[in-house]
């Protein structure tokens, strides 16, 4: 087993990785910007190194600074966490060129799956259904109109290298295509340095369902159930749960078989998520995230697995501790993302407890929430025997969670969880828009 690992990230995911590494006997090196000098991950790590000013481009996205730090501090591996450089194949290559272990899939696999046009082609090759759309990139109105008409309006323009709602535009008629193609391409170029876009049929109010995968790089694949991530605001997830209330055992079997075939054929290594849009009993491949996901704790709860541990083990050539042919889901888990509504200093923090309650966060009394980074400050996750009991447990835990000094979205989350439509389990990605007026 490796002795020291650098975490190329910040916030709650860096804290999460540090905790598993400590249990594995692995020393950790934290990197931080000057804005994060007093952050929790810098306090918990064995070594903390400042790599630049608050701007991400000069710190958490600085490939040279991160790799230099890893080498100088005697690290053997780099864990990219989520966001930032976690799906950057060039970073992965530079890590490997420096003689370090990359805690993730091969750079070539990241390239294959990171471009959504190529990923669609790959999914089709291995028998996964995809939504109707363009066979490749779309650059002009003349290319777009025949595709859009063949799909049937509405259609959605998507960035080939993107995510999180950036470079994404919904189009309802021919006359809207040209301008929206330009807008989507500009957004894609600005956010991902790649203006390539493509077109898909826009599914109205589908479920967003994803499977958690761990693979050993030799063709062995473990599917650790599905998560439902349909509650979203502007394509940003708010609430996730496992299993999904809209997935039948038969759907789960078909999804799992397709995912296993894809990941096994690619000799995928590490943690990954395959995402689908589901309408009724049908589902369509959307994308693969070649990394651990923010919402991984709900899968950990229902399977009793430490996914970060398994990810590190398989990427470092160690034996995983799970049996891929004997994964069982027990009970129900729900996660509510806690987002700051503005930056500030935490003057009071009271964390809930009790059976089946977990709070993943970088907050502490006196912690500063920076304006420079993502607004998520924590994740409140619960587990119980069924969905109803898990919902009641999460509401109770949200009541107990006290954060002062920084406004957060606890009240909004409680309203969603208490809503009759959400509690029925019969909803799709349009639920937030349906509820927004009452939130």
Active-site amino acid positions: 291
Question: What tokens does 1 get?
Answer: 């087993």
Q: How far apart are CA 136 and CA 340, in angstroms?
A: 38
Q: How far apart are CA 293 and CA 82, in angstroms?
A: 6
Q: How far apart are CA 201 and CA 152, in angstroms?
A: 7
Q: How far apart are CA 388 and CA 396, in angstroms?
A: 13
107 neighbors 125 (Cβ within 8 angstroms) = no
Question: What tokens does 435 get?
Answer: 């509820």
Q: How far apart are CA 215 and CA 414, in angstroms?
A: 36
Rounded to whole angstroms, what are the CA distances from 130 to 16, 103, 211? 34, 29, 16
Element (H, E) at 31: strand 27-33
Peptide bond into 77 cis (omega under 30): no
* Beta-carbon count within 10 A of 14 CB: 27
SS3 content of the chain, % helix, strand, coil (to 5): 35, 25, 35
Query: Read out DSSP for 151-177?
Result: H-SSEEEEETT--TTTT-EEE-SGGGH
Q: How far apart are CA 260 and CA 268, in angstroms?
A: 10
Helix ranges restricted to H, 25-162: 40-44, 63-72, 89-97, 107-114, 116-125, 141-151
Comparing C-alpha atoms, which of 228, 215, 200 is closest to residue 314? 215
User: What residue has token string 């295509």?
Assistant: 177
């Amino acid at each position: 087993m490796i002795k020291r690992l650098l975490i190329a990230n910040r916030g709650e995911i860096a804290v999460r990785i540090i905790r598993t590494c400590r249990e594995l006997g692995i020393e950790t090196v934290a990197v931080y910007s000057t804005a994060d000098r007093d952050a929790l991950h810098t306090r918990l790590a064995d070594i903390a190194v400042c790599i630049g000013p608050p701007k991400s481009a000069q710190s958490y996205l600085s490939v040279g600074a991160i790799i230099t730090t890893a080498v100088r501090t005697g690290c053997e591996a780099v864990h990219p966490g989520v966001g930032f450089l976690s799906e950057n194949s060039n970073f992965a290559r530079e890590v490997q060129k420096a003689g370090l272990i990359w805690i993730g899939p091969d750079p070539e696999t990241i390239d294959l799956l990171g471009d959504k046009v190529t990923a669609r082609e790959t999914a089709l090759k291995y028998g996964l259904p995809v939504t109707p759309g363009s066979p490749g990139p779309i650059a002009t109105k003349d290319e777009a109109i025949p595709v859009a008409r063949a799909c049937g309006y509405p259609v959605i323009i998507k960035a080939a290298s993107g995510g999180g709602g950036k470079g994404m535009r919904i189009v309802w008629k021919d006359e809207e295509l040209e301008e929206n193609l330009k807008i989507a391409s500009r957004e894609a170029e600005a956010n991902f340095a790649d203006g390539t876009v493509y077109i898909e049929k826009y599914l109205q109010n589908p479920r967003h369902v994803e499977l958690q995968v761990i693979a050993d790089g030799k063709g062995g694949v473990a599917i650790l159930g599905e998560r439902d991530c349909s509650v979203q605001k502007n394509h940003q997830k708010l609430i996730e749960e496992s299993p999904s209330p809209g997935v039948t055992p038969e759907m789960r079997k078909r999804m799992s078989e397709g995912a296993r075939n894809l990941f096994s054929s690619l000799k995928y290594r590490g943690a990954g998520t395959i995402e689908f849009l589901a309408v009724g009993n049908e589902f369509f491949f959307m994308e693969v995230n070649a990394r651990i996901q923010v919402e991984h704790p709900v899968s950990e709860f229902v399977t009793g697995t430490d996914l970060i541990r398994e990810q590190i083990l398989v990427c470092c050539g160690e034996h995983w501790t799970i049996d891929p042919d004997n994964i069982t889901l027990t009970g129900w888990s729900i996660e509510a993302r806690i987002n700051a509504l503005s930056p500030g200093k935490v003057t009071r923090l009271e964390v809930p407890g009790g059976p089946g309650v977990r709070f993943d966060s970088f907050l502490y009394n006196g912690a500063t929430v920076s304006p420079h980074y993502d607004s998520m400050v924590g994740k409140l996750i619960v587990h119980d025997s069924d969905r109803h009991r898990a919902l009641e447990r999460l509401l109770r835990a949200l009541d107990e969670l006290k954060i002062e000094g920084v406004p957060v979205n606890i009240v909004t989350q409680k309203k969603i969880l208490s809503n009759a439509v959400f509690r029925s389990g019969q909803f799709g990605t349009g639920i937030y828009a349906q509820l927004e007026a009452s939130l």
